[in-house]
A and B are shown apart, each in its own frame.
Chain A
Amino acid sequence: MNRRVPLKADTPAASSAPERPTNVLIVGVGGQGVIMVSKVLASLCQELGYQVKQSEVHGMAKRGGAVFSHVRFGHTVYSPTILEGDADVLVALEWAEGLRWLPYLNQDSGTFIADTQHIVPPFACRNRIRGADSGYSRETVHEVMESVANSFALDALQIATELGVPKAANTVLLGTLSTALEFPVDAWKGVISKFVPPKTVEANTRAFEAGHEWALTFDRETRLKEWQEHTARFSAEIARSDVAVTSTLEITEAWCKGCDICVKFCPERCLAMDERQIAVLTDPDRCTGCRICEWLCPDLAIAVHTPASPVEA
């Protein structure tokens, strides 16, 4: 039984619905619109006569906190949360968040819909040297698409930007989601127009149609090939940006008068005074080339040389 399709498109009542409710898990980064997407879905199910339970973690809208929302609908729903490995559809508004929640997806019949946009969380940036590895998830789209049978990865932000409404990226994802749930398209559009600001109804409708269209014309083989190319390009970029730009500090010892100001203001604590009371760089690897020491050296004894970044060059 395909649990992705609980009902025929125009069956309003839940009498023929399967006993087990359908589970949709929506994840993303705070501020992206996870709650809005789940509210649209929940209202739509309610309008069509299902019992719906929604449970969420919110208040993370400071860009960086993980946000998720469980939506369960069916004839009768008891628990509001989805068990691990039990989600029928996983909608990820951000790539790494999608990977984080992948264990929740039903491994046999689950559908994975993910936006490929990357939002690097601040906590992944452990190294402040320019061009340093950010610690962001390294799984490529191609790898994930190959391992998850029913998977759709699209650059919703790009699609929405092409339509001129970058903010409607999650509406594009709703369009893709609509092909996995087989509710009437008009019902989707009606609910979306209730949830978005009145001025953007038209733009969001277009975004929804774009996402819907993208999923309908989805051809796994071509997409896999595309993603492979994308991967090659992406890893080439990563390889180049992995070469961290290390700044070199030139300290003219003859000019240094040992005033200590560079040691006290260095944010990385990689400068120290030696026994001659002359500033020395104790840990060149930690130097990020921020130039505070260069700016504040009253003796003009410090010069920071930062080579051009290979990515920018």
Chain B
Amino acid sequence: MSDVAQNQFNIREYIRENLFPHFMCPGCGHGIALRALLNAVHDLGIDKNQLAIVSGIGCSGRVGAYIDANTFHTTHGRPLAFATGLKLARPDLEVIVITGDGDCLAIGGNHLIHACRRNLNLTCLMLNNEVYGMTGGQVSPTTSADRFTTTTQYGNHEPIFDACKLAEGAGAGFVGREMTLQTPALRDLIKEAIAHDGFSFIEVLSDCTEIFGRKNDMGESAEMVLAQKADFRSVSYGTEIGETFKPRGMKTGVLLRDDRPEYAMAYKRHNEKKLKQ
């Protein structure tokens, strides 16, 4: 027991305390996701000097800056492109990308599909809060039907983007989805994703309380996360029950695991072969 106590996760070892309190609004799910990520890093025993966090622009992009590791705050939509270069140059680093729904699916959609296609050993955490929160609450590719945002004053009529299906289709090695309310499950999913050799894509169902929740009268953070819980079911529930119970028709948990060749190794082998010729 004493050993366990010594190894207990203390989040203050992993954050830049001088930057706290963080800039996020009260009840923002990104903070919970940050905690789950750091706990996963702690559980896997990853050295902070060997950890590189690459983030884009937006509320999600700012999350990376609070982590006391090698952090890289990049341009809008391009964290995966930067991370690809970083991982190829420094394969010894554990590279984790934190991105948002707008950052990853709209502006950086093209980078996402090619990162999935290459299957480079990266972990991509997409914090999905259904809105462009930082710029004032514009509609994003994942905004649910009939939700109000500053650019959909009569409700959103566009169909939503299922990011996990996109990643599966584009060839990611590991795809998962989890909500912030199930924090231990989210931590375990992130652990599995980091351990997976290949591109791992995780959609974290976060909640934007101040911009999105307020405009749609969804209550405070507690009500929002409970509403999420009513909307999603774990894959472990099975298909039949899942279909009847899920209004949004989406599952949480590990959705895909595919052990196809990892990009950096395949690239190295290919080059060696060509150089010999």
Contacts and interface: CB of A to CB of B under 8 A. Distances in A.
Q: Are chains A and B native binding partners rather than an unrelated pairing?
A: yes
Interface of A: 252, 254-261, 264-265, 295-301, 303, 307-309, 312-313
Main secondary structure, interface of A, reads loop
Given A255-B20, A296-B183, 5 more contacts: A254-B21, A257-B21, A299-B22, A299-B24, A313-B2
A247 B1 CA distance: 15
B15 A260 contact: no
B215 interface: no
A296 B20 contact: no
A302 to B, nearest CB: 10
Given A261-B222, A295-B184, A300 B27 contact: no
B28 A298 contact: yes
A258 B32 contact: no
B15 A300 contact: yes
Contact of B29 (A256, A258, A298): A298
Contact of B221 (A298, A308, A313): A298
Main secondary structure, interface of B, reads helix
Contacts of B1: 308-309, 312-313
Given A295-B32, A298-B27, A312-B1, A260 B222 contact: yes
A284 B120 CA distance: 49
B214 to A, nearest CB: 13
User: Which 3 pairs from chain A and chain B are nearest by CB?
Assistant: A298-B31, A259-B27, A259-B26
A257 B221 contact: no
B183 A257 contact: no
Given A299-B21, A303-B11, A312-B1, A261 B35 contact: no
Nearest to A254: B21
Contact of B222 (A264, A303, A307, A312): A264
Given A255-B20, A257-B26, A309-B1, A298 B220 contact: no
Interface string B207-230: 001000000000011100100000
Given A264-B222, A300-B11, A295 B35 contact: yes
29 contacts: A254-B21, A255-B21, A256-B21, A257-B26, A258-B26, A259-B28, A260-B27, A261-B27, A261-B222, A265-B222, A295-B35, A295-B183, A297-B31, A298-B24, A298-B30, A298-B32, A298-B221, A299-B22, A299-B26, A299-B31, A300-B15, A300-B34, A303-B10, A307-B5, A308-B2, A308-B4, A309-B1, A312-B1, A313-B1
